[in-house]
Structure 1
Amino acid sequence: MKPVAHSPAAERPSTPSPRVALERCYSCPLGLAAGVAEHRACPFVPREREAGAHVYVEGDTADRVWYIVSGYVALSRETSEARSSGVTWAVRRPGEMLGTEGLVSDTYRDSAVALNAATLCVAPRDVVDAWLGPEDSPARAVLQLALRTRCNEVPRRSCADGNATRRVASWLLDEAPSQNAPQIPRQIVAGLLGMLPETFSRALARLVKLGAIEIDRRTIRVVDLDALLRAAGEGEGEGEGEP
């Protein structure tokens, strides 16, 4: 049985104070494009999603387009021959879009699940389609070609080159620019990096031993960037090997 993508318990209208909502819209690229500064309405409306809630399901009618305000959303594609069924292949983060394949396709290509409590702005596909302007404009032609190209690509997880410690260190360098890694379930990260959760845990322990990071049950914090760079093979000297 397919999971239900839209349920009242999983999706609730966002109810921030008018001042907070207005400030957020003024700094949002979609709000700016919609003209909120000129008191025009944005077609995207905020919704809250609970951790574990499906945003949409692969194969369902692509009737909405989403923008991530806060939180993280995992994508998986059961029909891909490149991975095992249902394996997460990407994580979308704040400032990124979801479901844009609906602008060039009738169905969603992936299943999208909120990894934590998330705020997503959503608009009906036909509203977004009209908002984007004339079909024969150069901007629309380029956008549609880009979206079709992306839809035709076979999703791949992160490269499995290098040992586990090096791959985890490289992931932390990419994902933790402010020293704190995003709170994504560790089994999801392990899958993205092409390793077992146990291997991911051992690599984290190795990075702790090297003094590069500190960890607890919920967070991973970078405490020595130079040590992390060396472990990733990007600093002075050789990358650290497996214990």
Structure 2
Amino acid sequence: MNPADPARALELLSRSPVFRGASPADLQPLAALGTFRTLRRGEVLFRAGDALDTLFLVSSGSVRVYRVVRGGTRELTLHVEGPRQLVAGVGVLGGSDPAPAHAVALQTPTEVLCLPAAAVREQVFGTPALAAAVIAALARRQAELLARLEGLVFSELGERLAAYLLEHAADDPHALPTNSDLAALLGTVPELVSRKLGEFYRLGLIQLERRRVRVLDRPELERLAGRTGGEGRASDPR
């Protein structure tokens, strides 16, 4: 743990969407309790079944939250939390249930602000403006999670990969995660991710060099990301 830095903690809390609308006075008691923790890529923040006695707010880097499925042979990424996002906020604020999923750092370094869960709940539930902001933010997060799960169930790999590439196209060229991490994000296996990336490359949809990718044919990727059938230029193994 890094030493407490109330001023930096307050700035992070104020900029977080989940606390948007709360006044600095509402957030100062939380900021005073916060400590910063730095993680390396792959370092575990918590595991499924752990007690959720700490609320984590990402300061820099990113954290992947995932479930292990199919008897431990597959990982299903529920969401990736970046700067100013809460990790497992619903579980922490909801009570004393254990963590329903695992959380690991995706980048080196990843820094999180650590806040005692009990103190957060007391401050949130005792401050109407803060409670309203948190409830609205968590409702949005739940809706995003349901949309993601719907996409994993009903869309094909080509559609999911195209959507991922378009989502990150503003940062072109951007570094791709490893095929294993990307497969976990997309709900598939590394071999199919590698095959689909190669197919997109051969079709001229993307430029790919040393894990850095650039979108070349946005209209075709948008078509792939928005379609519901399986036909088209790029075949779609799951």
Paired residues in the alignment total 219
Q: Is the 8 A contact 1:14 1:119 kept in 2?
A: no
Q: Which of 76, 89, 101 does residue 110 from structure 1 map onto? A: 101
Q: Which of 24, 32, 46 does residue 36 from structure 2 map onto? A: 46
Q: Distance in 1 between matches of 2:190 and 2:100?
A: 26
Deviation of 1:169 (Å): 1.0
Deviation of 1:198 (Å): 1.4
Deviation of 1:206 (Å): 1.6
2:158 counterpart letter in structure 1: T
Higher helix share: 2
Deviation of 1:164 (Å): 3.3
Q: Is the 8 A contact 1:48 1:119 kept in 2?
A: yes
Structure having greater relative contact order (Cα 8 Å, sep ≥ 6):
2
Q: Distance in 2 between matches of 1:202 and 1:14?
A: 46
- In structure 2, the partner of 1:4 is none
Deviation of 1:98 (Å): 0.9
* 1:143 is the counterpart of 2:130: no
- Unaligned regions of 5+ residues in structure 1, if any? 1-11
* 1:35 is the counterpart of 2:24: yes
What TM-score comes out, normalization by structure 1 length? 0.69
Deviation of 1:119 (Å): 1.3
- Cα 1:97–1:201 change in 2 (3 A) is same
Q: Is the 8 A contact 2:42 2:105 kept in 1?
A: yes
Deviation of 1:239 (Å): 4.1
Q: Which of 163, 168, 171 does residue 164 from structure 2 map onto? A: 171
Q: Is the 8 A contact 1:67 1:98 kept in 2?
A: yes
Deviation of 1:195 (Å): 2.5
- Percent of residue pairs bearing the same amino acid type: 24
- In structure 1, the partner of 2:222 is 229
Q: Is the 8 A contact 2:77 2:186 kept in 1?
A: no
Q: Distance in 1 between matches of 2:188 and 2:171?
A: 25
- Cα 1:219–1:201 change in 2 (3 A) is same
Q: Is the 8 A contact 1:176 1:182 kept in 2?
A: no
Alignment of 1:194-233 (within 5 A): 194-233=187-226
- Unaligned regions of 5+ residues in structure 2, if any? none
> What secondary structure is seen at the aligned counterpart in 1 of 2:161?
helix
Q: Distance in 1 between matches of 2:65 and 2:203?
A: 32
